Amino acid sequence: MHKLSTGDSSTLGTYKKLASVFGDKAVKFIQKKIDESPNGENEEVIAPESQMIQIFVSMLE
């Protein structure tokens, strides 16, 4: 499994925690992905960390 720069696993659950820094839109985006995933919060995210952060930044309110 990929690791983030924080040392945490690259999962939807980890990104949900990180998304909280960027506001409700980012959290809702990740929660929707969790709800759609058969593995829930444990689903591995294969997108590069920089791309995920860019998505969150674009959702800033």
In this predicted model, what pLDDT tens digit does every residue of 4-51 receive, in sequence order? Answer: 999 999 999 999 999 999 999 999 999 999 999 999 999 999 999 999
**Whether pLDDT at 61 is above 90:** no
Dihedral (CA of 24, 55, 11, 42) sign: positive
| pTM attached to this predicted model | 0.91
Per-residue pLDDT of 22-35, as tens digits, reads: 999 999 999 999 99
Contact 10, 17 (CB under 8 A): no
pLDDT at position 31 is 98
